[in-house]
Each structure stands twice: as C-alpha cells, then as structure tokens.
Amino acid sequence: MFYNLPKTVADLPESIPIFPLTGSILLPRCKLPLNIFEPRYLNMVFDSLCGGERIIGMVQPRPATTTEGSEPYAIGCAGRITAFEETTDGRVLINLTGLCRFRIVEELSLVRGYRRVKPDWLPFATDLIQIQDATISGEEVMKVLAPFFEAHHLRAEWSSLERIAGSDLIDVLSMNLPFPPEDKQALLEAADIHARFDTLRQIATLYAARDIDQATDTRH
C-alpha cells in the first residue's frame, strides 16, 4: 500500500502519539532508527501502522525530569514509519523519516498507555518543502567540525562526508553527534539551515575545548 506524503500542514493530523526520548531528535527528511520493546510503545507503533497515518512525534523530556510522566519540550518533530521489522524476541525495529516539526498545544488523554498531543504545525510549514541550500558545502561543514572530531577522537570518512550537500550534512550531524540533550534541542529548534549551522558551529567549538558529559543511553 502506498501513502501520499503531506504537501501542506493541512495534510497533517490534528493529534499524534509522542515518543519521549532523551538525547534523540528527528529532523525533516532525516531517518531515525528505533528499537521498540516497551508494551506501551509497541501499542503506539501498531496503532500507528493500523491507523493508516503511520505518524509519530519525537520529543525530548525537559531537563531534571524523567521520561516516565515527564513534561516534554514544547517543540518536537513528527516522522512517518517508513520501515518496520518484528524480531523473534518481541521487539519492533522501525525507521522514522522526518516530516515536519511541531509545537505542542496541549497533551491529550493516554491511549493504551502511550501519550498523545495536539500539535501546531503552522510555525514549521516550510519543513514540508525540500530546500537545498547551495551556499553551504559539505567541505565547509566538515572544516568547521574538524577540531571537535579531533578533540573527541571521532573517526570520519572525510572525503565522503564533504561530498554530501551541506544542508543535508548539517541535519544528519545535528541528529547523530554526541551532544547533550539541551544542545540537541537547540539544533532542533533552529529556525532554518543557516541558524542550525551557526548553532552547530557554536556547540562544536564549545565542546572542542571541553569534555562532553557521558552520553545518555537512548535505547527504548
């Protein structure tokens, strides 16, 4: 069965389930693999698949709270389940492909143990438009990040990464570099790719000169 991708915010649902996960963000058009094993989140995945929309909102819990019953940051990003695999031990492996960011308007009642929210998509309507910004090259991005990679002994296929479009590379690195949750949230909330690149530059420069706290285990 094929699904049409949303073209405007009018095509997006009025309510969505959310998956609170510390240290993990999703950005439009990027892919996020998830290992699902808790019963409530298995319910969420199966309901999303059976409901036809296959859309889940990724959010981070606010600092000093826990995932369980925590207050999430106001801004998250919704993704569509684009790959799905059940394992023999009862887990589900999925890929979420980012669609559009949202601001939480209100939290709704639980359904089968998982949380739902009413999202406001309008402030992020341009997320649904794929814009390649040729003014930022992959080479420029990797040059900015080189001191951070060196300071933390991170390996990279430099020649391959430099060939990726700069705007795509910024988003992929924003999701995957081992920054603390609050810095990940700042990258998620950046208004556009230039603001995200500037935020990425500032964070990478900061942590090139100091240690990063031990990364949070984000398995779920």
Query: What are the tens digits of pLDDT across the range 145-173?
Result: 999 999 998 887 877 888 888 999 999 99
Q: How do 55-59 and 16-20 pair as beta strands?
A: parallel
Separation CA 76–CA 79 (nearest Å): 10
In CATH terms, 9-128 corresponds, of 3.30.360.10, 2.30.130.40, 3.40.30.10, 1.10.3720.10, to 2.30.130.40
Residue 212: predicted pLDDT? 76
Query: What are the tens digits of pLDDT across the range 41-96?
Result: 999 999 999 987 899 999 999 986 555 568 999 999 999 999 999 999 999 999 99
Q: Where are the chain's structural domains?
A: 9-128, 138-208
Separation CA 148–CA 21 (nearest Å): 25
